Structure 1
Amino acid sequence: MTAPTTIHQAAPPHQPAAPDQPSGPAPGAAGSAAPCGPRPCWSADPYTDALRSGHGPLFLRRTDGWLLPLDVERWCASADAADLSVLRLCEGSVLDVGCGPGRLVAALAGLGSRALGIDVSQEAVTRTVGLGATALCRSVFEALPGEGRWGSVLLLDGNIGIGGRPGALLDRCGELLAPGGLLLAEAAPVDVDERVEVRIDDGRGAGEPVGQPFPWARVGARALLRYAAHAGWSRAAQWESGGRSFLALRRSRTAPPAVRTASHSAEAAKSPTVSHSQCSA
């Protein structure tokens, strides 16, 4: 079932509307979030339970058994100094891809920026709305408000891994941004370029990992710059803060648009690979 297109906004709204965003509250009760369609991975119970409790343990488990820890406590806290080093560079209206429990969207609202978070997790959208921010229950590969007019797009907390194909995700972000727009991405803090299959795991050893395996990627700064150069992006800035690695990328105004076939778009919209997590490297 396809997720609804309703944008969920707290009432009264704490920020101006993002591009193509309704100026009034979403249909239904103020501050409520319409249900997402079923998602085979990030709607799994361990992820929902972790967001509700505000803490882990929570991991992505590779097929070889290696566990990648997910920093649930940081996602559920307020934006920290490293986050703010990114948010202060944002230009124009901001789209947070994989907003999770909403700390970045809420912080942007506090800075006076127009911002919209997107996430496929019902619990993540509900928590974001509860912070007074605005969120849409949708995948980055599905139709979104304001395509081609966003001033900045965020890919933080490991979300460059969404879909397991960093090049395809960079192309999609280029479609969402206005000409000359800014992509702010977080890279893994180590020199890595891997595409793997993972499942969600709570690390408690009580049973098998939840849901079907889905593709994911981990990309360090050097690898991300290679993908970016191939897709027509140039580096505007690069820095580290709080042990995390960030890049600001700007796409050439003359870069050819990515070609997305109807079959590719439909496949991406249905695939668990487009499901968002907040995945820390």
Structure 2
Amino acid sequence: MSTAHGVMARDAGGHNWSADPYADALRAGRGPLFLRRGDGWLLPLDVERWCARADAVDRQVLDRCEGAVLDVGCGPGRLVTELAARGRTALGIDVSEAAVAHTLGLGGPALWRSVFEPLPGEGRWNSALLLDDNLGIGGDPRALLSRVAQLLLPGGLLIAETAPVDVDERADVRIVRGTDIQGATGAAFPWARLGTRALLRYARPLGWRTVDQWSAGGRCFVSLRSRSTSSRAEPPNSTAVISSQRARKPSADRPVADS
């Protein structure tokens, strides 16, 4: 998720907070944390689950992954850490520096980078993950699905988590700490929420084929396969992935990493 960096503030109770509520929540391992629309509507973010170890539902999702796995919007890294523990080739990417630092601290492979920037192994990943509300990245589902297709091998697998309600929404949101409108907030950024039917409406015209749909633990998932062609490339190897984990920030507004 897009966040601000490095600014400190003091709340009414005299506590010091950074200007990045998401980073604060990851450091604490807990919320409450929300996405807030301009009209005040709040979507709770499940920080405690994200900061915990992969649970049974997560592990079932990871069991479905094929080959080398790219976790788009990896957050604090429970999924890539679990994959690494299994000896799988995997990489997490996130635009939050705090999330990437947390992932690396757990021993998970991660890059501080946007999915829309150059990435290692483009066109060679076997599987991609868009879990934990990450279908909302960029606020443009067509652009996101098109980009993920570019990152996968032809016929590669995408596992996406959808909203548990039938929704197709795009809005500018902010990350806020607690429900107090005066509480610390992050910068506004575009976001989307998609239920399963909405995801499939966007995916099918782009050549994605539905593999499966299922629910577990109150969460909803869809697996899709990208358009197949006759040409295939070798999947990314673990050495190439590991060698590209040195994060840098060449400018104030474009966090990327060395390829």
TM bin, normalised by shorter chain, reads 0.7 to 0.9
The amino acid that maps onto 1:119 is D
In structure 2, the residue matched to 1:72 is 47
Rounded to whole Å, the distance in 2 between the matches of 1:161 and 1:42 is 19
Aligned residues: 221
Pairs within 5 Å for 1:86-235: 86-205=61-180, 207=182, 210-235=185-210
In structure 1, the residue matched to 2:243 is none
> Does residue 41 of the first structure (1) align with residue 3 of the second (2)?
yes
Local SS of the residue matching 2:215 = strand
Q: Are the equivalent residues in 1 in contact too, given 2:68–2:126 (CA < 8 A)? A: yes
After alignment, is 136-145 or 210-219 more displaced?
210-219
Rounded to whole Å, the distance in 2 between the matches of 1:190 and 1:209 is 29
Q: Are the equivalent residues in 1 in contact too, given 2:214–2:220 (CA < 8 A)? A: yes
TM-score (normalizing by structure 2): 0.81
Q: Identity percentage over the alignment?
A: 64
Rounded to whole Å, the distance in 2 between the matches of 1:114 and 1:214 is 31
In structure 2, the residue matched to 1:8 is none
Structure 1 residue 206: deviation in Å? 6.4
What do residues 214-246 of structure 1 show as CA deviations (whole Å, max 9, x unaligned)?
110000001111111021100011111100000
Q: Are the equivalent residues in 2 in contact too, given 1:118–1:137 (CA < 8 A)? A: yes
Query: Tell me, which stretches of 5 or more residues in structure 1 are unaligned?
Result: 1-38, 256-269, 276-281
Rounded to whole Å, the distance in 2 between the matches of 1:206 and 1:143 is 37
The amino acid that maps onto 1:166 is P
Rounded to whole Å, the distance in 1 between the matches of 2:104 and 2:90 is 12
The amino acid that maps onto 2:25 is A
Q: Are the equivalent residues in 1 in contact too, given 2:171–2:190 (CA < 8 A)? A: yes
Runs of 4+ that moved beyond 6 A: none
In structure 2, the residue matched to 1:242 is 217
In structure 2, the residue matched to 1:35 is none
Local SS of the residue matching 1:153 = strand
After alignment, is 219-228 or 202-211 more displaced?
202-211
Rounded to whole Å, the distance in 1 between the matches of 2:3 and 2:106 is 24
Local SS of the residue matching 1:88 = helix
The amino acid that maps onto 2:22 is Y
Pick from 65, 82, 91 the counterpart of residue 57 of structure 2.
82
Structure 1 residue 211: deviation in Å? 3.7
Pick from 16, 33, 36 the counterpart of residue 61 of structure 1.
36
Q: Are the equivalent residues in 1 in contact too, given 2:176–2:186 (CA < 8 A)? A: no
Q: Are the equivalent residues in 1 in contact too, given 2:94–2:112 (CA < 8 A)? A: yes
Rounded to whole Å, the distance in 1 between the matches of 2:2 and 2:79 is 25
Local SS of the residue matching 2:187 = strand
> Does residue 50 of the first structure (1) align with residue 12 of the second (2)?
no
Pairs within 5 Å for 1:244-263: 244-254=219-229
Rounded to whole Å, the distance in 1 between the matches of 2:47 and 2:106 is 17
What do residues 8-45 of structure 1 show as CA deviations (whole Å, max 9, x unaligned)?
xxxxxxxxxxxxxxxxxxxxxxxxxxxxxxx9636542
Question: Structure 1's 211 and 56: CA in aligned 2 closer, same or farther, altered over 3 A?
Answer: closer
